[in-house]
A and B are shown apart, each in its own frame.
Chain A
Amino acid sequence: MYYIDPHLHMVSRTTDDYETLAKMGCVAISEPAFWAGFDRGSGESFRDYFRQLTEVEPKRAAQYGIQHFTWLCINAKEAEDVELSREVLKIIPEFLDCPNVLGIGEIGLNKNTKNEAIIFQEHMELAIAHQQQVLIHTPHLEDKYQGTRMILDMLGEHSIDRSRVLVDHVEEHTVGPVLEAGYWAGMTLYPVTKCTPSRAVDIIERHGAERLCVNSAGDWGPSKPTAVPDLVLEMRRRGHKESLIKKVVYDNPRDFFSQSKNFNLENPAQR
């Protein structure tokens, strides 16, 4: 089955991973800007990172027939440094017309601090000013519920089309508020700290598949870039229809991304 991984940090993965993804049916990925595992020293480091996301990764992916799209921001962890964040916010517009940029992301909260909230709001204003879609990171573990509710509070203050916003890393206790508010939701399949494929399928069964996406969020930490096919297998084992599986792993991310002018997915069936 063809699928799209809507959240995958390929700058942290090897070229072998691209090959494996292609063999498993991945036809497109989207790569949100995120934390490199260390705090960067200057805004210029982000300019280089954005060049990597808009110039280097699309070429690496294309070698394996995978289309690469991306999102730009300063991540929530480094957003604690307000001065650095504002430097980066000034750089982002230079890249918004690059052909693989889908919007602003993954912005959000990490430890739910005041500075993170300030920079989240400034990212939202940037997105609205440039008519960009938004991809949002929600915090980890014990901070997730509080942070997700704070994010929903802040989103509610902006006049943005909610169908152009995806709130990511939802789990059992946060998926309901996100979907009920009219946003898209993403589930991340992580070995320990987020959803397992089984729990993600439980969430689909409880909440339905509308506006719900699933991703691997593969990065430099413990993660599995081929986690989406694990979900496909779990859905098949439970007897779900192929049409429902395709909706979750292909149609939904395609429909969400299609709201961006830069999303030009080649239909894999017509290649």
Chain B
Amino acid sequence: MNSNEILDREFLEIRAKILEVAAALDRIERAEGDVSGDPRMGLIADAINIIASEHSDPIRAEKIQLLFSRTYDEQWRNEFSIASRS
């Protein structure tokens, strides 16, 4: 499939998903309380920025996965006091 065919096929689905995100954010804002300081709201905002950005290499999904991931520490064995078995 070429890019036009994919856009034809997926436009309405993308539109619906964007509306779902927008409506969910509206719902949060409409409700009682304040979550503006919740780090998850910052993650959501960062993820939306990744979606909106242009990439020479299309890896938006991978970038968003990493955004929502805990940091990997190569020295994790030291923290656990576990010696390498090799």
Interface residues of A (CB under 8 A from B): 112, 114, 117-118, 121, 141-146, 149-150, 153-154, 156-158, 171-173, 199, 202, 237-239
Q: Kindly state the separation between the CA atoms of A117 and B85 in the bound complex, as whole angstroms.
A: 12
Q: Which residues of B contact A173 (CB under 8 A)?
A: 62, 65-66, 69
- A238 & B66 in contact (Cβ 8 Å cutoff): no
Bound form: Cα–Cα A260–B6 in Å: 41
Known interface pairs A114-B80, A117-B82, A238-B1. Does A172 touch B62 (Cβ–Cβ under 8 Å)? Answer: yes
Q: Which residues of B contact A118 (CB under 8 A)?
A: 82
A156's nearest neighbour on chain B, judged by CB, is B86
User: Once the chains bind, are B69 and A150 in contact (CB under 8 Å)?
Assistant: no
Give chain A's interface secondary structure class. Answer: helix
CA distance A141 to B64 in the complex (A): 12
Contact of B7 with A by CB under 8 A: no
Interface CB pairs A-B, < 8 A, 23: A112-B70, A112-B76, A117-B80, A117-B82, A142-B69, A145-B66, A145-B72, A146-B73, A149-B72, A150-B72, A153-B74, A154-B85, A156-B86, A157-B84, A157-B85, A157-B86, A158-B85, A158-B86, A172-B62, A173-B69, A237-B9, A238-B1, A239-B1
- Which chain A residues border B70 with CB–CB below 8 Å? 112, 142-143, 145-146
On whether the beta carbons of B61 and A145 are closer than 8 Å, the reply is no
User: Does B53 belong to the interface (CB within 8 Å)?
Assistant: no
Please report whether the interface of chain B is mostly helix, strand, loop or mixed according to DSSP: loop
In the assembly, what is the distance between CA of A157 and CA of B85, in Å? Answer: 6
A residues near B74, Cβ cutoff 8 Å: 153
Contacts of B69 in A (CB 8 A): 142, 144-146, 173
- Verify A146–B72 contact, CB threshold 8 A: yes
CB distance from B9 to the nearest CB of A (A): 8
Closest to B64 in A: A172
A153 and B85 CA atoms in complex are apart in Å by 10
Of the residues B68, B73, B80, contact of A141 by C-beta under 8 Å: B68
User: Within the assembled complex, what's the spacing in Å between the Cα atoms of A154 and B80?
Assistant: 13
Q: In the complex, which residues of chain B have a beta carbon less than 8 angstroms from the beta carbon of A142?
A: 68-70
Query: 3 closest pairs, A vs B, by CB?
Result: A145-B69, A173-B65, A157-B86
Which residues from chain A contact B66 at a C-beta distance below 8 Å?
A: 145, 173
A36 CB to nearest B CB, Å: 26
- Which residues of B sit under 8 angstroms from A146, Cβ to Cβ? 69-73
- CB neighbours of A150 from chain B (8 A): 72, 76
How distant is the Cα of A37 from the Cα of B63 in the complex, in angstroms?
32
Which chain A positions have C-beta within 8 A of B80? Answer: 114, 117
Chain B residues with CB below 8 A from A121, complex form: 85
Closest Cβ of chain A to B38, distance in Å, is 15
Given contacts A114-B81, A172-B61, 20 further A-B contacts (CB under 8 A): A114-B80, A117-B82, A142-B70, A144-B65, A144-B69, A145-B66, A145-B69, A145-B70, A145-B72, A146-B69, A149-B72, A153-B74, A153-B77, A154-B85, A171-B65, A172-B59, A172-B62, A173-B65, A173-B69, A238-B1
- B7 CB → nearest A CB, Å: 13
In the bound complex, CA of A158 to CA of B84 (Å): 10
Q: A141-B68, A173-B65 are in contact. Are A114 and B86 (CB under 8 A)?
A: no
CB distance from B48 to the nearest CB of A (A): 17
CB distance from B41 to the nearest CB of A (A): 16
